[in-house]
Chain A
Amino acid sequence: MNKLYHISVLLLMAVLMFSTSCLKTEEDDIFDKSAASRLDDVRDSYTNILTEKGGKWQMEYFTTDEEPGYVYLMTFQKDGSVTISGKNVWISRVDDVSAITPSFGSETSLWEVITDNGPVLSFNSYNRFFHLFADPEDIPSTDEGDTDEQGYGHSGDYEFDLMKYSGDTLYLEGKKHGNNIIMTRLEPSIEDQTYMDDVVALADSFFNAKIPQTFITLPNDRRFVVTNGASLILSMYPEDGDWVSQTETYSAIITPSGLNFMNPVRLYADKDSTSYYDVQHFVRQADGSLLCRENNQVKFTADTLSKIMAGQSFKWRMVENGYAGDLEDFISIFEAGLKAYNKATLRYKYFDISYVAAQETFTFTFAVRANGRNSTCNLYLDVERVSDNQVRFVFNGEGDSNAKVYLQRVEALQDFCNYLSSTTFEIRPNSLLSPTEVRLVSADDDVTALTLILQ
């Protein structure tokens, strides 16, 4: 009987506990629609966002931190098709595995916003010029064929979680590999190939292998040396640190607005790592420098201009006839002096300035032709840094034997050297990040000038 009693008590307790879930004390629904309906609404919303206003977008696409980012243009249509255009070397290699230069490619495939755990932008049919980054085939391809494949490829995504839409910018995250991807709306009138050609040309102008080092400068003037810029796998270490142990690499992409790192880069403001700046997006300025969007006092430039001019690894060549003001007069008089001395003429209307290690000095080189013979003349000089963006070319009266002859016999050459030695030139570069062409303008009259190109 006790058993029956206990069972009855237990049954009553159980029923009381479970029945509470059915009591009519539930709160009213927080949402007016079911979760599935709300997810469908979000899907429809993103579908509209992608296709409205012409449906043209720029995607900043990243795979792994061992590869640079790639710009793609995408035009989404309401019929479920998307035209994807790009220009990079991997597109070239779709048809020619040995290609080393970027090619433009454009192909139409399918897209859809699907509802997974949230809205997902899926490029769900294969596009030769886009899905190549998600293909599992080895890079480079294996010699052994299928049996040696590792199955990673570039490890890029083709499905993206739609995280946020703000100000005509979509923020996405690769579904499998988790990379942050940004899409920016573009004008529908943009022509894909022209746009991509411009992007690649712009990227080529950002960094130049002839300027091997660039610098990110923090507000407190601490600098980080940046190398391998042209590869867009940037190596970076603090200038006051140890490049061997402190060098880190960062993947980046160049877009018409500037340079973006794949992920935020933490730069410490001091050696003790007590404070730092997280930087990721750099906006291109009119002077060619890059200014950090997260902190507009963080700059990305080449080295100080006068340092570059006085750098021993650089060779500069004057643009033919690229001089003005007093220099025009001095060079005319010099040419007349050459003619009067031995009917010599300047072979080229330009000069080279470079450092000659053997002589441990800079040289000012010009070429003459006299009596049917060509000869090269090297005058020795120092490149003196007057300020960060000013230099003087100080001739010391020395030179090789050819130059000495003309220096002694052609008075106008001496006058020319004296003029240069006494003139301070302000350096006006084509770009503060990649100063491969500089206009040297006399600080005295702002008219006298010569243009030099980095060789």
Chain B
Amino acid sequence: MKKLNIFVSMLLLLAVATFTLSSCSDDKLGETIFPDIDETLDPNSMTYKLDKFLRENYLNVYNLDFRYKMQDVGTNMNYNLVPATYENSIDLAVLTKFLWFDAYKEVAGPDFLKLYGPRIIHLIGSPAYNPTSGTEIVGLAEGGIKVSLFKVNAMDITDFEMMNEYYFKTMHHEFAHILHQRKTYPSEFNLLSASKYDGNNWQDRQDGVVNSWGFVTTYASSENREDFAETIANFVVKTDAQWNRILELASRGWATPSSEDEFNAEYFCYYYYKNNEVDPEKIEYCYEDQVIKVPQEDGTVLMYFRNDTDSSGNRIVVYNVEDTDGIDGKEIILKKVQIARQWLADEWGVDLDALRAEVQKRQLNYDITELRKQVTEIQ
């Protein structure tokens, strides 16, 4: 019986083998089910010049699809969005190359972005509004391969601050995400401000206050990954004056006269005593533009309230709010930068300071008319 079972089992296994080998044995690959796509650009197309520029500078070099014709299916359908204008698409195409791709090429070598750059850049004309939080999305990095740049129709090429905030910074911010999605950054970074992240209410926070907590922007205080991307992006694109201002505000103490919770309160870093009567009950807070600063020979600076005098006609003395939060914001920001600097050097071979210098040089000296010629003068 045992032998019979073995025999039957062997027969069955033989049958399995026969079926397995014979199944589909004469399958052959037929013609492709996909239609032949003509990759030739049509010189009669209205968009021929831009398409040719994008092919020669993005697709052929970086295998990157620069999508300026918005595809609704490539967006979050919960948002109402509109396409970018053709004219702004040209500007952003040449600026993205000049300020992002060429800058990295200069600092990290020609292959860096070929290997690690996004494969799709998608331009979207409007912001994506989040009505519940009162915020707007200006950039997205998805899956390490796609970067969406929003609000393209609001571009004002003459407004450097605006261009920096919404586009240049966004490019480096989103690319930082792409990089850390491939190789994670040291977890030590996440511990530096662990108790201060708030993903729901970051938009209600105040710039100077979050600086003093060790964040470069309010958005950086939303979560550690955004903090990391914001730290790199702001360090790279902010001018020396803008960066030093962040560090200066980070060194300040901040206080509020409000009894409301911190998200709705307005914070100040200057105060004075009403009528110069030094009494905690007489403290009033003021804005920076209400303060007159008078440098002294010994290097100190005296500060006075611009808008009033005391009953004797004397200037009202202004004081810095004492930093009592126990956090050295400036030191934390610099530590974060150092972690990013080391991580970029170790993991990617990129010199953050050199990158910053290259981006600064480019963003302060570009001539958009000249850059546009790369497209408009294509034959």
Contact = CB atoms under 8 A, between A and B. Distances in A.
A161 to B, nearest CB: 11
Given A12-B16, A19-B23, A151-B128, A124 B83 contact: yes
Contacts of B6: 1, 4
A455 interface: no
Interface string B100-141: 000000000000000000000000011111110011100000
Interface in A120-162: 122-126, 131, 134-137, 146-153, 155, 158-159
A40 interface: yes
A12 B131 contact: no
Interface string A13-31: 0011011001010000000
Given A5-B9, A80-B47, A159-B72, A110 B80 contact: no
A158 B83 contact: yes
**Residue from A1, A2, A114 with most neighbouring chain B CB atoms (10 Å):** A1
Given A136-B129, A149-B129, A176 B82 contact: no
Nearest to A154: B80
A114 B72 CA distance: 11
A22 B81 contact: no
A9 interface: yes
Contact of B86 (A8, A114, A125): A125
Given A81-B46, A126-B84, A159-B72, A147 B203 contact: yes
A175 B69 contact: no
B86 A135 contact: no
B357 interface: no
B15 A126 contact: no
B16 A131 contact: no
| SS of B interface (majority) | loop
B71 A124 contact: yes
Interface in A97-132: 109-110, 112, 114, 116, 122-126, 131
Contact of B81 (A40, A109, A122, A136): A136
A190 interface: no
Contact of B44 (A9, A78, A134, A147): A78
Given A37-B35, A110-B47, A134 B82 contact: yes
A80 B35 contact: no
B35 A131 contact: no
B278 interface: no
B367 interface: no
A18 B34 CA distance: 27
B28 interface: no
Given A12-B12, A134-B80, A126 B85 contact: yes
B40 interface: no
A8 B46 contact: no
A12 B11 CA distance: 10
Interface residues of B, number: 51
B34 A11 contact: no
Contacts of A110: 46-47, 69, 86
A109 B83 CA distance: 11
B89 interface: yes
Nearest to B8: A5
B29 interface: no
Interface string B36-80: 000000101111000000000000000000001111110001011
A196 to B, nearest CB: 23
Contacts of B82: 126, 131, 134-136, 158
Interface string B13-25: 1011001100110
A11 B23 CA distance: 14
B83 A116 contact: no
B203 to A, nearest CB: 7
Contact of A15 (B19, B27, B42, B153): B19
A306 B70 CA distance: 58
B241 interface: no
B12 A151 contact: no
A146 B136 contact: yes
B33 A34 contact: yes
B369 interface: no
A79 interface: yes
A77 interface: yes
A358 interface: no
B20 A15 contact: yes
A15 B136 CA distance: 55
A117 to B, nearest CB: 9
Contacts of B125: 126, 131
Contact of B46 (A18, A80, A136): A80
B2 interface: yes
A158 B5 CA distance: 71
Contacts of A148: 134
A123 B77 contact: no
A382 to B, nearest CB: 59
A15 B72 contact: no
A244 interface: no
Contacts of A357: none
B342 to A, nearest CB: 36
Contacts of B135: 147
A286 interface: no
B69 A124 contact: yes
A8 B16 contact: yes
Contact of B127 (A8, A24, A123, A136): A136
Given A112-B69, A136-B127, A11 B16 contact: yes
A151 B130 contact: yes
Contacts of B24: 19, 22
Given A146-B129, A149-B136, 8 more contacts: A8-B9, A8-B16, A34-B33, A126-B85, A131-B82, A131-B83, A136-B82, A176-B72
Cβ-closest 9 pairs across A and B: A151-B129, A8-B12, A34-B33, A124-B69, A22-B24, A136-B80, A147-B134, A81-B46, A126-B85
22 contacts: A1-B2, A2-B5, A5-B12, A9-B12, A11-B16, A12-B19, A15-B23, A18-B23, A19-B24, A36-B34, A37-B35, A40-B35, A79-B42, A79-B44, A125-B83, A131-B125, A135-B82, A136-B128, A146-B136, A151-B80, A153-B80, A176-B72
